[in-house]
Structure 1
């Protein structure tokens, strides 16, 4: 029997790589997907040092054709038992009072790939009665955060999608859950950008999250299959 595969969509140096290491330690072969390939050699070397078998693929998740090609290629490696979806939106934030329909629609370019990933892996999981999906989203999906503008709409939609999938598959052996993140993830690109700017460095103090701890919690969610969501909030009310 082939080694089960874990797909990490939107891998970065913070939570994405922590998820890759955590799942690799559980015996999964890891398949990384990120927008560009320039970090892949370092990612693969890191995982190899931990004894984790891994491959890496370049795909912008908003390019549905390319994402589909990569997911199909990964499926040839073995049964995909877990898929983690963690890319963040990239468009500039528009104040919620100023958004128009086009701006709101553009925010959902972050959500549609999550549905595409689920559509690619769920048929096999449901047929086997095993596996699961984990989604990473923002705190604005839980409580109003006007400073995130149109992105809050997409965060709410992604969270609802994950929770509804969880409810739909409770009795079918397949898990879905969401990691709702309120804080700067350490080692991630946004954290690096903030802490590199002396005028913004203070904004990180007391508002950071350890990605290894989030990855541990994610694994426990997948293993226990009882809770559909865990909120990581260091931003306060």
Structure 2
């Protein structure tokens, strides 16, 4: 299985079928793939919509958290369960365009083996003012402390090697720091311009508080990890 598309969701019942349709339309006939949805203990009928969708989308697999655990845990569990050697992630709100997955795959095809993460870069944001400004501040603070050379770590659209990801340290909110963690592990990252769409269904789960301030302690923790890392080549004698 070359590619697994992992989609974390929480209370996204109206976005399930449209996004599944776009993923399938983009990838069918082009590559072998599976779609792994991880329902983070939704309180609406997200799970029922997903279960009904399997009749139309045989590529679909469904995981469900017994307790709401957050986006990073949903991504982690989805990657652990995935069968593909490479993982593409998408936010479940429909703001990432699945049609951009081939852009990431094309970038991988011409990149050196050192590049293990291809990160979507939303060059034109389609969010409200408060969301844009909090992301801009958070990106600026993060770049100043971590020097991760990534203009947009918050984009949910990413492509990375599964084996590499599973060697990274897991913690809540780790998805916000993936480029820094990948570089800390000695690999390279590449940002790829992608589209960004306004949310047309459902309600955003992030605001100024949980997007900016909650991540400060995590940011200092990741900075500590990077300072304490020692990388060296290894010779077998």
| TM-score computed with the length of structure 2 as normaliser | 0.40
Higher helix share: 1
